[in-house]
Amino acid sequence: MNQLEQLKQFTTVVADTGDFQTMRQYTPRDATTNPSLIFKAVQKDEYRPLLEQAVRDQRDGSVDAVVDALLIAFGQEILKIVPGRVSTEVDARLSFDTDATIAKARHLIDLYERCGVPRERILIKIASTWEGIRAAEVLQKDGIRCNMTLLFSLVQAVACAEAGVQLISPFVGRIYDWYKKHAGSAWDEAKNGGANDPGVQSVRTIYTYYKKFGYNTEVMGASFRNTSQICELAGCDLLTISPELLQALHASDAPLERKLSQATGDAANVVRLDTNEPAFRWQLNEDAMATEKLAEGIRLFAADAIKLETLIGTLRTA
């Protein structure tokens, strides 16, 4: 078996893309999207009709209504291909507004359900801010399942689990990027790669904590830079992988062994974290990497949302 087939034996593979052909080719169970991926997809001729249709359908509505219609259109098409779930993201500009996040998530679910898509097949993606986690806690009680994104630290992961969220997406590659950039010329790829990769270690720590204390929240490693990071997390509940790395795994016949399992949670040195609001904010503040990458991620997703809105505005006035 190639490495992708081997990985599927003990980890649920998720496609991190808005490209339908990739999903058909590599048969993931789920798919994730975000504003950046949607904006990238609608630049291609084959996806342009989805954007144009959303603009026509919402010709009397707001730009925000067109964006929502486009997200739902992509989600519906994706669910015709994957047997599982699709993640649809709440606008990153709502990341510090609990009530607005709840309202937007409920609206997106309502749009899906009007199209005949059951909420069980949707994961609403929300940034792992304190306000986002509180929103997810409310939504989960409504039967709206959440995927907590832009997650870079253990305290974010623990707060999400205690809020009862369905799934978290710790960002392996962006953690790696931060440590490599800050090390500069002192960075040693051989020393800091593989099992010692800081992004890999972060997910392993979260996975160990969850298994140790029996949380049901799923862990889905995300934002990979190379196949080594993926292989080191084989056995994680889910891994969401870009088309380029899906191809690389598919092209390799190298043996791949399971690295994470229920037994990973047997670590005796794992202690519970306090995650009330002051403790959460302090621990996040003390983690420079997590603080910086969370803020940067929100800004980048917001910027791509604005680019998408600008594109829609151009089409509406054409």
Q: What confidence tens digit (pLDDT) does each residue in 95-143 have?
A: 999 999 999 999 999 999 999 999 999 999 999 999 999 999 999 999 9
How far apart, in whole angstroms, are the C-alpha atoms of residue 147 and residue 318?
36
Q: What is the pLDDT of residue 264?
A: 78
Q: What is the pLDDT of residue 226?
A: 98
Quick one: three-class SS letters along 286-309? HCHHHHHHHHHHHHHHHHHHHHHH
Instruction: With beta carbons less than 8 A apart as the criterion, state whether 147 and 199 touch.
Output: no
User: Domain limits of the chain?
Assistant: 3-317
Round the CA-based radius of gyration of the chain to a whole number and report it.
19
Active-site option among 44, 104, 125, 181: 125
For residue 158, give Cα distances in angstroms to 69, 89, 109, 182, 216: 33, 21, 26, 26, 11
Give domain 3-317's CATH architecture.
Answer: Alpha-Beta Barrel (3.20)
- Condensed to tens digits (0 to 9), the pLDDT of residues 98-108 reads 999 999 999 99
Query: Which residue in the block uniquely carries the two structure tokens 């500069």?
Result: 184
Tokens of 86: 């699709």
Give the mean model confidence (pLDDT) for residues 162-169.
98
Indicate whether 221 pLDDT > 90.
yes
Q: What is the pLDDT of residue 29?
A: 97
Which residue type occupies 239? L
How far apart, in whole angstroms, are the C-alpha atoms of residue 301 and residue 201?
25
Tokens of 309: 């809105």
End-to-end Cα, the chain, rounded Å: 51
Reply yes or no on whether 125 is catalytic: yes
Instruction: With beta carbons less than 8 A apart as the criterion, state whether 173 and 224 touch.
Output: yes
Instruction: With beta carbons less than 8 A apart as the criterion, state whether 221 and 233 touch.
Output: yes
The average confidence (pLDDT) of the chain is: 96
Indicate whether 317 pLDDT > 90.
no
The reported pTM is: 0.96
Give the mean model confidence (pLDDT) for residues 175-179.
98
- DSSP output for 102-171: HHHHHHHHHHHHHTT--GGGEEEEEE-SHHHHHHHHHHHHTT--EEEEEE-SHHHHHHHHHTT-SEEEEB
Indicate whether 34 pLDDT > 90.
no
Q: What is the DSSP letter of 237?
A: S
Work out the percent of the chain whose per-residue pLDDT is above 70.
100
Q: What is the pLDDT of residue 69?
A: 96
Q: Which residues pair with 153 in a beta bridge?
A: none
Q: What is the DSSP letter of 13?
A: E
Least confident of 98-107, 232-241, 307-316: 307-316
Q: At 22, is the pLDDT very low, low, confident or very high (cuts 50, 70, 90)? A: very high
For residue 172, give Cα distances in angstroms to 75, 179, 228, 229, 299: 25, 11, 11, 8, 18
Q: What is the pLDDT of residue 42?
A: 92
Tokens of 82: 């994957």
Give the mean model confidence (pLDDT) for residues 235-252.
97
For residue 51, the Cα-to-chain-centroid distance in whole angstroms is 23
Q: What is the pLDDT of residue 33?
A: 87
